[in-house]
Every structure is written in structure tokens, then in C-alpha cells.
Chains A and B, each alone.
Chain A
């Protein structure tokens, strides 16, 4: 028999015992709905996490530092060259890293602690430089004002807590915090004066050959650099609600400068002294640089290349990999849990079809008598099972989607009551829709195996004898 005929006959037969077949189909729907609900929760959560983490720039960033900075190298790093002989992380190294394939940018991490004056009152803070690409960081999602107009503009973005400090609005513990908008209003466009120490290299003296190996560092420092106190006026352009450097812990900065501007200031870095102690050249040496890769998937290769260059690297690739593992386990767990209901529903299909054989014994006998082959009968029962599966699958996907929407909606109401911004942690991607329907179809066909085989083997003489 041809497929359209099979489908037509199958649907007609399903309509004949409408109640029973509907109930079976409802069973499948519930099974599919639970599967869809579970898997879309898993997908949604995974998407939510990766969205958050990718936007944070954590997953496409490699932190590179010189081995010289390593005080306590991990075992694998101790096998490398002696820290003191390893390569210096200077501008030429940065440029070389930036030329590696799949690297979108490599920028020095400039951070220093300094004094900022606002309304003639000094405030101490950690200052950090941001490249223009940081604009997409989700920390700036709820920012008031705007991002730096250019990479070298004399502008500054403040983290909310520093803004509170400038305005003297730090709330007592437990009191409601002022909103960013409230803070931004009196601050945006205002001027901030930054006092900092500029490092200026003097002519590099030839190291005296007779100098003793353990000569004090300060002597050489004095010979290579002078430190000048400077001032820089900065315009406040933005107040960030979230903390762009939440990963940094206690050393996180609360004041942010454009990268090029920060570089041009040549602020004295804590590492400078050490470099000087080692008798470095006149090129600027970075304590660390951040390397961003074009695609988080390429991070491993890039990291290996940088390691080969003789630097120490850190990325949270490992973290992301174990996170993915966790999600895979979660996924499998949710999938198995969701499939349980479908497995129960499949027993319903077997039951319904076996009942149908008993009921339609005579009909099967008639069909065989007028020329239906075993295959025709088998296919007809398969078609009925498959039709129940597809119909149940479609309804189930809709049901699962609706359940998800309701739960998402309800949770967001709860989140709102806890003053947490709403999140979309429920995702029903197209592949899941198709997979669920196909899976329901497949499960139904498998359930139909036994009944269809039994129907096909029915002896027509016996079947026709029944009244």
C-alpha cells in the first residue's frame, strides 16, 4: 500500500475508536511535553549561563603574564625555562601575540592605585584601562551615560560604588541603594582630576661589568627612571551599575580609563621596579596582557601558541569545559527523566494496538482475504502507531512549550519581587521541537512493532471464523 493510503486508513481507524486512541495520544503528549519541558529547561539554563559568561568576556580571554612574575609556578610550569631567563612581556611580545591566528586583540593590563580628586576632595581607588571592545561587556548593560567616545579621550567611567563614594551617598548596610540614574544625574559630564606617578625613562646606562650580582635594585632604578607626579583631568561619561571586574576580587578597579589614554600616561606600574631590578631594556614591560580570541572554541590553540612563546597563560577554558560537562550530565538527567513519561506512554500505545487487533480481528481477516499482504497489515498498524506518535508529539511540544512559558512567567514574577532582573531561562529551539516529534514518532513505531507483527501473522481463516 502507498503511504498516503496508509495514512488515510490509519487516521480513519484512529477516529473509529476515538476515545481510546485520544487517551493514548494524550498519554504520548504528556510524555513529550515532559521531555520538552525538561530539555528546554536544560537548554534555557545553558543558554543563560553561556550568554552571561560570554558577555563577561571571560570565555574568550587569555591572561598572559611573563614567567618572571611567577612566584610559585605550578608543576608543569616549573619544567619550563628558569623564570629569570624567560622572555620579557614587552611591546614586541604583545605585537607578536596579536599577530597569532584567531586573536582579535591583545592589550596590556594597565592598573594602578591612585588618587582622584572630585570637588577638591581626594578619593583613593584602583584604576584600570579598558579597550573599546569592552563596550559589549554585560557589565555595561545597565550603564548610565555612554562608553568612551574614543580610545584616547580624556574620559572616565565609574563603577556605581565609587560614584556613591564621590557623592558621599554610601548607604548604610541594609538600606536601599540609590539607583544608577540617581547617581548619574549629578555626576555625568563633571570633571575628575587624577593624580598619578609618571614613569619617565632616562638614558639607559651601560651596566657596569664589575657590578656585583647582588647589588641593590634601587641603585639601578635610580639610574634608569625618574618618577614624576602628574595630573590628568577626566570627564565622567558613564556610571556602570554592575562591576566589570567582579572576577578580580579585592583588587578590582572602580574607575576605568580608555586604553590608549592610559598607555600614553605611562603610569608607574608595580612591576616596573622588578624589571628595573633585573636590568630590563628601555621598552615598556607589561605585568600582564589580555588576549581576546575571535571564537571561544579557538582558545586552546591560541593558549598553546602563547605558552610556546615562553609565557604563562591563564584562561577559564578549563572552567568552561567542566561547566559544559556539568550541563551534559544535567541534560542527560533531564532527558532521561523526561523520557520516563514517554516510556510509560509507549506502553499505552502497545496496549491500545493490541486491543485494536483483538477488536479488529475480523477486519484484518477480511483485508487478508481480499488480498492484503502481511506487509500491508503490518504497515497499517505501524501507520496507526506512527500517527498517534506524531499527533501526540505535536500536541506534546505545544504543551511543553506552554508549561515552559508558564514556569518562566511565574519565576520572573518571583524574581521581580526579589528585585532581580527578569531572565529567559527557558528555550525551545527548533531542533528540540523536531527532535521531540521525531522521537515520539520513533517511540510509537517501536511500540507498534509487536502489535503490527502479531496482526500481520493473524491466520485469515481463524480470523474470519470469529463472529
Chain B
């Protein structure tokens, strides 16, 4: 299989950001075998804004973790930006997460003991970027999400919306090709949720980032995503294009 996929990947370099083929993630929980992701084959083009939809337990988050390189497939393959993630070593996978992917989560996942500036520059520390450059980049990133004044505040001193903006700034700091969002508005009220979604749409549009967002809110997906992929019980059930109605208007 690899001998046939490799040339295709090369040919599709400029257009295909993510390609999964018969992707499976199974794990055991006691006696039962859980098929979190069960034979999903999708292709996401560069610059696309894709929503992964499904009820809870449908496998959408597991799918996202596989694309993010946080988890490894049981079988099948997932190729992101020319990298066959199943074949990367732990070390290479960490590099991949550092440089290729930016992630935001439902619960923001900022480190509570650090200030916003420190949270945002943390990936740069892992990338061994010099301190001076780190300061400039993290300031710029926070400015971009409108948190310039909150540089030295801790996450607990901020509202949920502000925290998620900071998390966005952190996700963007290494200029990733791919932005992965796991229920990014799940903990926010509708107003701040919209604010965050507009930012995602803006990064997608202006920076040409490929965005994959996991959500269970169909309405949200319809407003922003260019494509909706539906999962149920770990299987792909629907994959359809969508015209985002609200993105441009709100931005």
C-alpha cells in the first residue's frame, strides 16, 4: 500500500493537506473492543475549513487526535503535509506537533502557573528559539488576538473567551500549516463563541491555514465550515460541501 500511496502524496503535495486511508483506532476497555475510529478515508485540501461532526462517542475527537499526532492509528494511514504519521518516531511526532500543527481545545488548556506571554511562547521554547525573538513573536501573537494588555496576567484572571484567544495565539506562534480545534466554543457563551469562530475563519482565510474543527453543533459548522464530515460509531457517514453563510459577514 505504501508503494502506491507515496507517489500520490508527492503529486498532491500542493493541494492535499490531510489524507487518511482506512484509518482505524481501536482500543480495549476491559473485555470490550472499542472502535473509536473504524476505517475512515478522507482527504482534506490545503486551505480548507472542515468541520468534523458527530454525537459524543462518534470518534470525531479520536480522529482529530490521530491527525494531530497525539495518538497513533491501530491500522491504516494518516498522511499530513507529506508525513505518514504512523511511521514517525515519537521524537519526529513531537517535532511534527511543534511545527506543523496548532491546536485549540474546548477547555483552553493554558498552563495555569504561567502568564499569557509565557503560555504563548512555550512552543518557541521547545523549538529552541532565542529569548529576544520569542518575546517579539509572543507579543505579536497576543496582539493579533487582542490581548496585548493582558501579557502578564495569568489564565485564571481572564474570561473564557480571553483564554481561548490566548490559546489561539499559542497555536499560531509556530506558524503551523494546520489548525486543529476540538470543540473550541464548547465552554463559551454564544457571543464569545462567535468571536472565536470568526478568528478561526480569519486565520483560515488570511493565513491560508487548513482548519479542522471538531464540533457537535451542526449550526456552527454550517455557518463557518466549507465542508462537513459526519462520523458515527467511528465510521464516516457523510461528507458534504457547505457554503459558510456567516463567516465573511461577521469578519
Contact = CB atoms under 8 A, between A and B. Distances in A.
B97 A369 contact: yes
B127 A375 contact: no
Interface in B56-80: 65, 68, 70-71
A363 B111 contact: yes
Interface residue tally on A, bucketed by range = 20 to 34
Contacts of B95: 371, 373
A16 B171 CA distance: 25
Contacts of B126: 1, 367, 370-373, 376
A370 B170 contact: yes
B122 interface: yes
Interface stretch (A112-120, A125-133, A459-467): A459-467
B3 interface: no
Interface stretch (A5-13, A149-157, A326-334): A5-13
A368 B122 CA distance: 11
B187 to A, nearest CB: 11
Interface in A429-467: 460-461, 464, 467
Interface residues of B, number: 29
A12 B113 contact: yes
A376 B98 CA distance: 12
Contact of A371 (B90, B98, B110): B98
B91 A375 contact: yes
B128 A369 contact: no
Interface stretch (B13-21, B101-109, B205-213, B233-241): B101-109
Interface in B203-236: none
B153 interface: no
A1 B122 CA distance: 10
Interface string B104-138: 01010111111000000011011110000000000
Nearest to B66: A461
A17 B126 CA distance: 23
B99 interface: yes
A372 B94 contact: yes
B99 A371 contact: yes
Nearest to A467: B107
Interface string A340-384: 000000000000000000000011011111111111100000000
Contacts of B123: 370-371
Residue in B105, B122, B125 whose Cβ sees the most chain A Cβ within 10 Å: B125
Given A9-B125, A460-B70, A461-B65, A371 B97 contact: yes
A373 B93 CA distance: 8
A71 interface: no
Contact of A12 (B70, B94, B99, B114): B114
Interface string B149-189: 00000000000000000000011001000000000000000
B116 to A, nearest CB: 14
A308 interface: no
Contact of B109 (A9, A16, A362): A362
B113 A371 contact: no
Nearest to A15: B113
A2 interface: yes
A122 to B, nearest CB: 91
A369 B103 contact: yes
Contacts, number: 72
Contacts of A375: 91
Contacts of A367: 111, 122, 126
Contact of B127 (A12, A366, A369, A371): A371
B166 to A, nearest CB: 12
Nearest to B122: A370
Given A1-B128, A16-B113, A460-B70, A370 B107 contact: no
A360 to B, nearest CB: 9
A369 B90 contact: no
Nearest to A6: B125
A366 B111 contact: yes
Residue in A2, A369, A370, A460 whose Cβ sees the most chain B Cβ within 10 Å: A370
Contact of B68 (A366, A369, A373): A369
A12 B170 CA distance: 20
Contacts of B91: 373-375
Residue in A2, A12, A16, A369 whose Cβ sees the most chain B Cβ within 10 Å: A369
Nearest to B108: A366
A371 B110 CA distance: 14
Given A369-B97, A370-B97, A371-B127, A461 B122 contact: no
Given A369-B109, A370-B103, A5 B125 contact: yes
Contact of B71 (A371, A372, A376, A461): A461
A369 B170 CA distance: 11
Nearest to A463: B70
A356 to B, nearest CB: 12
B105 A464 contact: yes
A363 B108 CA distance: 12
Contact of B125 (A1, A362, A467): A1
A444 B125 CA distance: 24
A467 B171 CA distance: 21
A367 B112 CA distance: 12
Given A363-B111, A373-B91, A460-B70, A368 B97 contact: yes
Nearest to B65: A461
Pairs of residues from A and B, 5 with the lowest C-beta to C-beta distance, nearest first:
A371-B98, A373-B94, A371-B97, A16-B113, A366-B109
Given A366-B111, A373-B91, 11 more contacts: A12-B113, A12-B114, A363-B113, A366-B109, A368-B97, A369-B105, A370-B97, A370-B98, A371-B127, A464-B109, A467-B107
11 contacts: A5-B125, A12-B113, A366-B111, A369-B68, A369-B103, A370-B122, A370-B123, A370-B126, A370-B170, A371-B97, A373-B95
Interface of B: 65, 68, 70-71, 90-91, 94-95, 97-99, 103, 105, 107, 109-114, 122-123, 125-128, 170-171, 174
